[in-house]
Structure 1
């Protein structure tokens, strides 16, 4: 019986408080590394150092962890390729100039798409209170994502479309990993090999964009913050994959809860960079946290 067929026979979707806490912490880490990476003004250099961190950190995990089972490999390769597409879209979006305003929309799109897919295709059946929690959580995240801070301009049509496309990529690799890790029997092996494939792919892509002789010069000023951000990013997403393995019937809930990082990043941006927050984002944060509480009941 396939994983998708098995999912149709799962009980009502549930998630333990312990797993929920891990996912929230993953969201905190995700927000933290994004805020740290905010200090890197050269976006190509940021992606270069982060991909380097993926490769360096994932190699020993892949070598020493239990190898994933054969059925997981198509998902590992598919996830690595989807992360490459995601990076390419990010690079294109950065060139639009105002993507910093529109990008949070990507993080709001992803959990909605994942939840819809998990119900329609994976056969998950959230309980009534979980539906309420997911709706509150996604609504709060959307409020934080869409609300424009005081003085901010309206994002261009191109930037908004790029954000939606990026969000679709996030949803795609989230679903791929949620299903793929069920085949693996080794979360560490799955994570290690996925990042070990992903890192060199992204480095090769960036090498085609940046003249090779300039790679080191571009990356060197940002090595410390870039490598640290990449390592934290790996740990944060590894925690999400672990949560998906522990709660295979709650893919949508895990995906939505992870995006609480948007809310946290908004407040960190206010505290560290004095970025304007606005009343709508504060209300959205309250609604999102209420969704987490309701989901954990």
Structure 2
């Protein structure tokens, strides 16, 4: 992985942790999530003026990506309703690189060096260790962990589908812009059926998250989708999940969540994995 790609994915990780914190920190998490996803539309529409039209062969990947992204968003909401950002976010994101790496090597035939595999495993295991985190009352939050793990399966799935789709499309930005608009339409329809008042409230109560959260989310994943075309999907997915470091800092210092030794251990292990990944050939 080249230095520009490495730095770009780290930047995307910071943006990703930021919008997740906005969703978790919001009083109405459904409103926050809806505002973020529908907030993709302005930048996606602007991007279509500059990006080439994706190749028709990428349409099945795009359709699959829309379904998987929507499933991810629904289960992420359920996870945040049950657990802390500093538990849910790491488990969801930590399981994804392990699944992607396993699928890439065993099914897609992608060759990863021993050091690359060690880096991915280190990042994944470091993050997954947060399943040991206890709630404020001292009890383990098994329900939140289960929801987060299901979310991780969706993350791994859409990462693989989007990565392959962007390569087939011939334009990562064009591919993700269309996908982002379609995903926003699905979210709007979902909110219209589930809670019409939430959908209309995005224009008022959710305006800030729509602008800042939606913009950060779109840019973050647009960068990641581009990186999928520049480096192995498994490595990009693993590096992106170093966002746990940013999520932990935001959770502790801004959301006032509890810091313990497990979270510190997980962060240091994840950073070690990122260092290994940077120097792996």
**TM-score, normalised on structure 2?**
0.91
Q: CA deviation at 1:87?
A: 2.2
1:11 — aligned with what? none
| Correspondent of 1:279 among 254, 261, 275 | 261
| Correspondent of 2:16 among 25, 30, 34 | 30
Contact 2:120–2:277 at 8 Å: present in 1 too? yes
Contact 2:163–2:228 at 8 Å: present in 1 too? yes
Unmatched segments (≥5 aa) in structure 2: none
| Correspondent of 2:93 among 91, 94, 107 | 107
Q: CA deviation at 1:72?
A: 1.0
Unmatched segments (≥5 aa) in structure 1: 1-14
Q: CA deviation at 1:233?
A: 0.7
| Correspondent of 1:47 among 24, 33, 53 | 33
| Partners of 2:151 and 2:132 in 1: CA distance | 15
1:230 — aligned with what? 214
2:238 — aligned with what? 256
| Partners of 1:225 and 1:293 in 2: CA distance | 33
Deviations 1:120-160 (A, max 9, x none): 1111111122122112221222234543366553113x433
The 5-angstrom pairing of residues 60-209 of structure 1 reads: 60-94=46-80, 97-98=82-83, 101-144=87-130, 146-148=132-134, 151-156=137-142, 158-209=143-194
Over the residues paired in the alignment, what is the CA RMSD in angstroms?
2.1
- From the superposition, tell whether residues 136 and 167 of structure 1 become closer, same or farther in structure 2 (CA, over 3 Å): same
1:270 — aligned with what? 252
**TM-score, normalised on structure 1?**
0.86
Deviations 1:238-275 (A, max 9, x none): 1111111111xx21111111111122211222122332
- From the superposition, tell whether residues 277 and 94 of structure 1 become closer, same or farther in structure 2 (CA, over 3 Å): closer
| Partners of 1:37 and 1:65 in 2: CA distance | 29
Deviations 1:205-255 (A, max 9, x none): 111100x355323652231134311110111111111111111xx211111
Indicate yes or no: 2:240 matched with 1:242: no
Aligned residues: 278
Q: CA deviation at 1:201?
A: 0.9
Indicate yes or no: 2:57 matched with 1:57: no
| Partners of 1:32 and 1:246 in 2: CA distance | 24
| Partners of 1:48 and 1:175 in 2: CA distance | 24
Contact 1:140–1:285 at 8 Å: present in 2 too? yes
- From the superposition, tell whether residues 90 and 144 of structure 1 become closer, same or farther in structure 2 (CA, over 3 Å): closer
Q: CA deviation at 1:44?
A: 1.3
